[in-house]
A and B are shown apart, each in its own frame.
Chain A
Amino acid sequence: MRIHRGLALVLALVMTVFLAGSVSAQYPTRQITVVIQAAPGGVSDITARTVASLVEKELGVPVIAVNRPGAAGALAMSYLSRQAPDGYTFGYVPVELSMVRTLGYGDVGPDNLDLLAQAVSVPAAVTVRADSPWTTLQDLIDYAKANPGKIRVGNAGPGSIWHIAAGALERATGVRFTHVPFDGASPAVASLLGGHIEMVTVSPTEILPALQAGEVRVLAVMDRERSPVIPDVPTLAEVGVPGVVVSGWGGFAAPKGIPADVRAKLADAIAKAIQSPEFAEMAASRGMTVAYKPGEEFAAFAQEQYEMFAELIPALGIVQ
């Protein structure tokens, strides 16, 4: 029995070696898994699942989504970095890829993964109540300068991208806010509507209902371009604060070391999915900007962001 098993093992190994070349040429021959770092139902999940279904059509094999939430996505991303680099596992990577190592939530960064493509971008929107005295960003900054710490800014949690957005604005304009972390962006918005805080820096989607009802005012978006969700709102640079760009983004990555031909096929299918009309429709409905960047460019951008956060996060006093 033992001999038989040993023989089978040797045979399997030999077969693997022989077939390795042709396997990658035929890729894909079986089901592909996409690892999602967030719980089902959220924006990351919908983005990843939309791409998964389009990649499935393109490559002709099932693409199965697996959610592994936890530690701001660090669990899923380090899990992804440990998977076999055979092209049968890829994953969604959000802006937290460039943050979690500095935050101490996990030992994974842009250098641990092979980045395939950026898909979306969501800017931070500097939002105040409509009945507040501030009608422009300059009003807000002037008030904040005269009254340090008086403006309470709600964010989606300590060390979240929206916390860092408010922190970056603080640093660029030389003012001091009181940061109030909430458990997610929508409790922060609820608190703004209830008058318990003065300002939030969250995504345009989150404040859209209140904005349409005339209950809040968006003073600026922290991006290079205006947001298609709220096209009337100027960018920070337009209102005199250049060089501060903080946005949530998301893209796709694979474990490092996948064969070049396999990588090309997978990255190509993902790129096609991101640039499809179906994806554009989904992104628009969720208030995201489609921001396709090919692998190398995405990797350079993620690394640049990594360095920015490595400096910003400790300056905000989040990391000990």
Chain B
Amino acid sequence: MALLAEALQAVFEPTTLLYLLIGVGAGVLIGALPGLTATMAVAILTPLTFWAPPAQGLAMLLGVYNSAIWAGGIPAILINTPGTPASIASTFDGPAIAQRGEAGLALGINTIYSVFGGLFSTLLLAIFAFPIARFALRFGPAEYFALAIFGLSMMVSVSGKSIVKGLIVGVFGLLLSMVGLDPMLSYPRFTFGRFELLDGISFIPVMIGLFGVGEVLDQILKSREEQTRIIPRIGRQLPTRQELARMGPAALFSAAVSAVIGAIPGAGGDIASIICWDQTRRLSKKPQEYGKGSIEGLAATCTANNGVIGGALTTMLTLGLPGDSVTAILLGSLIMYGLQPGPLLFRDHADMAYVIIALMVLAYVAILIVGLGASRVLVRAFMVRKEVVWTAVLILSTVGSYAINNNPLDVWFMFFAGILGLVLRQYGYPLGPLVLALLLGPMAESNFRRALTAAGDAGAWVFVTRPISLILLILAALSLVAPIIQQRRKARQGGVTVQP
């Protein structure tokens, strides 16, 4: 703690703070524009940081990283389009809160709980870095498979009214996730001989299409009503004391769980926020509100997607292993500065390790100030006529999906996903299971086969003889069965009340 105080003092100087603010500012723009991701944000700013001293360069990069993930929640809430994949789960409750006239409150929750999640996981990083990283290493192929299955089991609970419709969409998503090179044998599947399809269907253009374009097309078809704005009112921004008390348990749970999920290489904010949304719903006193504008649900997802950052940094700093593409770029920058991440970083460069932690804390202070200060402006930007919002979303979706890989095919994917999103909305099919399948299908498949390859004679027993894997699979089974039992029980109770 003394080291942290020292580091805080070291970073508290005007130039570093300026770099931090530039990072946070750039992060707001990039994160809030669908299609421009946190990875791109960090990659774009990285070359600018090479000539700056380490503390200043890292201030900019950590500022932009944390801020882009937080800002991704803004379009998720205001226009039902996640700014980055980490905010997908924020579309479950956020837009409903905004549309009932509490856009300010929804954005306030996004800011407050993103900051809470980020600070909580940074604190964990400062105290328990090594035990967390050691735990993360216990995840082998079998555990990754079980984690993916646990995530996929949430298909049922994100299905909304009809479980059957949810499963239809989910299985369709799993099929789509099979397109591309086979992960073990490198055999091309469903690529129609096109080399562009070897890497599979790009996730981000599909996400932008399903949410952004699909939503716009759906609104255009429905727009005969008199209402000319999507967001009716801003409303108050800060939650009341009772609301804070209500969201507390969900946020605390999400912060702790997401920090651990973030530490596991390859599992990021998208998975963490979906898992936390579903698990906190089970803890909630008002689970029926989840998916229809629950402030608890929104708080859980906003906490979780920033909460993974501290975890991801833990693994990167203590083991030198990047868990995702953003930490891979950050790792490169640290090496450029002559700071080799790994177990020795905390011994040989403990001062820098704590400077990083101090910068994380400062970044969240900046996000809190910018977030609470600017959200009125942000909401106002969306309080124009619907047609203006629609046009802007369509243009940004096109530009964003091209910008990912500079590949025109991705724009087509975005477009077709948009049509699909419209059709699914019109016929009452939920989007959640489809997105879940696209995200987790490849993780489940490749780790299933990887685990079997590595298991040798043990075969499929490997999934149940290893404790972490077994626990995750039991949790998956429970979350599959629980909603069905609940429905039955409700039906039975309903039956009882009807009888005189």
A-side residues, CB < 8 A to B, are: 39-43, 45-46, 49, 66-72, 74-75, 78, 103-106, 149-150, 152, 157-159, 178-183, 186-187, 189-191, 193-197, 205, 208-210, 212-213, 215, 282, 285-286, 318-320
From A105, A190, A196, A208, contact of B265 by CB (8 A): A190
Distance in Å: Cβ of A8 to nearest Cβ of chain B? 29
Contacting A at CB under 8 A, from B338-384, are 338, 340-345
A69/B405 in contact, CB under 8 A: yes
A286/B341 in contact, CB under 8 A: no
B140 at interface, CB cutoff 8 A: yes
Sample of 26 A–B contacts (CB below 8 Å)? A40-B43, A41-B39, A41-B46, A42-B332, A46-B332, A49-B47, A67-B405, A68-B406, A68-B407, A70-B405, A71-B198, A103-B186, A152-B454, A158-B182, A158-B184, A180-B454, A182-B450, A187-B266, A189-B321, A194-B140, A195-B140, A196-B140, A209-B320, A210-B320, A210-B342, A320-B187
A183/B265 in contact, CB under 8 A: no
B342/A208 in contact, CB under 8 A: yes
B-side residues, CB < 8 A to A, are: 39-40, 42-44, 46-47, 136-141, 181-188, 195-196, 198-199, 265-266, 319-322, 325, 328-329, 332, 335-336, 338, 340-345, 405-407, 446, 450, 453-454, 456
B405/A190 in contact, CB under 8 A: no
B325/A39 in contact, CB under 8 A: yes
Smallest Cβ-Cβ distance to B198: which chain A residue? A71
A-B contact count (CB 8 A): 144
CA of A320 to CA of B185 in the docked complex: distance in angstroms?
9
B181 / chain A contacts, CB cutoff of 8 Å: 158
Q: A39-B39, A103-B186 are in contact. List 4 more A-B contacts (CB 8 A).
A: A39-B325, A39-B405, A41-B325, A285-B338
A215/B343 in contact, CB under 8 A: yes
B137/A193 in contact, CB under 8 A: yes
CA of A42 to CA of B266 in the docked complex: distance in angstroms?
16
Distance in Å: Cβ of B184 to nearest Cβ of chain A? 6
A49 / chain B contacts, CB cutoff of 8 Å: 47
B345 / chain A contacts, CB cutoff of 8 Å: 209
Check A71/B195 contact, CB under 8 A, given A183-B446, A213-B342. Answer: yes
Distance in Å: Cβ of B10 to nearest Cβ of chain A? 23
A205 / chain B contacts, CB cutoff of 8 Å: 335
A41 / chain B contacts, CB cutoff of 8 Å: 39, 42-43, 46, 325, 328-329, 332
Smallest Cβ-Cβ distance to A45: which chain B residue? B43
Distance in Å: Cβ of B444 to nearest Cβ of chain A? 13
B195 / chain A contacts, CB cutoff of 8 Å: 70-71, 74-75, 78, 105-106
Query: Among B44, B188, B325, B332, which residue has the most Cβ atoms of chain A within 10 A?
Result: B332
A181 / chain B contacts, CB cutoff of 8 Å: 183-184, 450
From A40, A78, A209, A285, contact of B344 by CB (8 A): A209
